[in-house]
Every structure is written in C-alpha cells, then in structure tokens.
A = this chain, B = another copy of it.
Amino acid sequence: MANLPLILVVEDDQLVQSVVEDCLSEGGYEAVIASSGENAVELLDAAQGKYRAIVTDINFETGVIDGWDVARHAREIDPNFPVVYMSGKDADDWASKGVPNSIMLAKPFAPAQLVTAVSQLLNVGTPSA
C-alpha cells in the first residue's frame, strides 16, 4: 500500500487549499491541487484514471469554468467518478446543478465530513477493471 489514493482538489483560495490538503492527508489521501476550473479540466484530460475522486469549490477568481462544469467534465470521462462539492452560498444549487450520486458539503463543514464524504463515495459500488 505504498501509493496513497490521489484526490484532485479544485480550489483557488490558498487557505482553504491547505485546510483541505491537511484533512485529506490525515485521512491517508494525497491531494493534487488545481487552482481554476480550466486547470482542473486540463489535469483530468491528462489523467488517464490516476485520480480516484474530485473535491471542488464552485466559483473561482479566474476563468469561466466553474465547479459544476468541472464535475460534469469528470463524469463525461468516467460516469462513476466520485464527486464532492464544497460551497457556501451556492450549496442550495446542488439539487439543480449537481451531478447524480455526488455530495455537497455546505460551508462551514468539519474536516471529518470531507474525509467521510470522499471515503463513502470510494467505498460504494463495484470496483471495475
């Protein structure tokens, strides 16, 4: 079990970045940071399945691709891709803009909520080749 599961974290606020990174790291995950929707899409396109889940904020300072778009892009590549959204004011849009079988963490949330959310989504369903 040398490699830790890689989680793609899409967040442009450095403070939140480091909180999320710490939470995931304490749970035994390794975070890779994308700081915009555009950056996340690039990493996903080049990933060839190396990320096990995505944790994404909704709005970013730069670019036009938001977190809702990033999740849809991830699901076009892999329809079972685990998706966790983090949001403050946009949490209520989850029911209309989120993808199926995703989790919305409404800020403020506890670190344990994030780690449980990622773990729940990874623990559900059939592993596939």
Residues of A within 8 A of B (CB): 1-5, 16, 19, 23, 26-29, 71-73, 75-76, 79-80, 91-92, 94-113, 115-120, 122-123, 125-129
Q: Please list the 7 inter-chain residue pairs (A to B) with the smallest Cβ-Cβ separation, ordered nearest first.
A: A27-B112, A28-B110, A79-B95, A75-B96, A116-B119, A28-B111, A91-B127
**Closest residue to A75 on the B side, CB-wise?**
B96
Contact A128 B4 (CB under 8 A): no
Q: How many copies does the complex hold?
A: 6
Give Cα A126 to B95, complex, Å. Answer: 6
Apart from the given pairs A26-B112, A98-B99, A120-B123, 11 other A-B contacts in the complex at a CB distance below 8 Å = A4-B110, A5-B108, A28-B110, A72-B96, A92-B128, A96-B99, A100-B102, A100-B126, A105-B123, A109-B122, A112-B119
Contact B103 A123 (CB under 8 A): yes
**Closest residue to A90 on the B side, CB-wise?**
B127
